[in-house]
A and B are shown apart, each in its own frame.
Chain A
């Protein structure tokens, strides 16, 4: 079975600083990988996804993530954080399970942005 680890529960950055949120997964083959964002009081929204091809993927809101097979990682990055990026971020892995794709989520990383 697949699993996802987000080692950082909270991350605090200053507005304008760069950001990297870590995600490590466990799965025997190449999984489908996702990053979702949850603003306070809202549902989850897809930021970006990887399932094949170029290992650097671009998403919405200026985010990108890089799939590194050798490190089983899919870290999320943004070069310059805006105050509106303060939210909860979830990494997820989707792998075939009996013909279906049932995603497994990490526990999330809460991003705090200081002005």
Chain B
């Protein structure tokens, strides 16, 4: 059971570089989201998607882009990395429709990003 798969697990970037964090889920979930986790700040929502072709901003979207071309994949792009984007990033998905849909999230294992 793969669930939610994130890659890479670790990445070091220099300021101004770009990169993409990959997220894939095999549960046919409509909803996918990206969070960043910083000490003392809990989990903050960056972007989310309620289905293929639909994305929206969360609490802290600046500096990040997303797209959702398929149900399974939801990549997060950093176009020009900044030290403030040093964080641990989590992808999560959930079923939003059907009986019992409650928004329960299934998480990936996280991607630790350091921007120098």
Contacts and interface: CB of A to CB of B under 8 A. Distances in A.
A39 to B, nearest CB: 11
B102 A49 contact: yes
27 contacts: A9-B40, A32-B103, A32-B104, A34-B104, A42-B109, A42-B110, A43-B4, A43-B90, A43-B109, A44-B92, A44-B107, A45-B107, A90-B42, A94-B102, A99-B50, A100-B31, A101-B94, A101-B102, A102-B31, A102-B33, A102-B48, A103-B103, A106-B42, A107-B40, A107-B41, A108-B42, A108-B43
A46 interface: yes
A41 B111 CA distance: 10
A102 B45 contact: yes
Contacts of B108: 43
The secondary-structure label for the interface of chain B is strand
Interface string B41-66: 11101001010000000000000000
Contact of A46 (B50, B90, B96, B104): B104
A103 B93 CA distance: 11
B101 interface: yes
Contacts of B109: 42-43
Contacts of A92: 105
A105 interface: yes
The secondary-structure label for the interface of chain A is strand
Given A32-B102, A51-B102, A102-B48, A107 B107 contact: no
Interface of A: 9, 32, 34, 36, 41-46, 49, 51, 90, 92, 94, 99-103, 105-108
Interface residues of B, number: 24
A51 B104 CA distance: 10
Given A42-B109, A107-B41, A108-B42, A101 B90 contact: no
B28 to A, nearest CB: 16
Given A43-B108, A102-B48, A107 B90 contact: no
Contacts of A101: 31, 94, 96, 101-103
Nearest to B54: A100
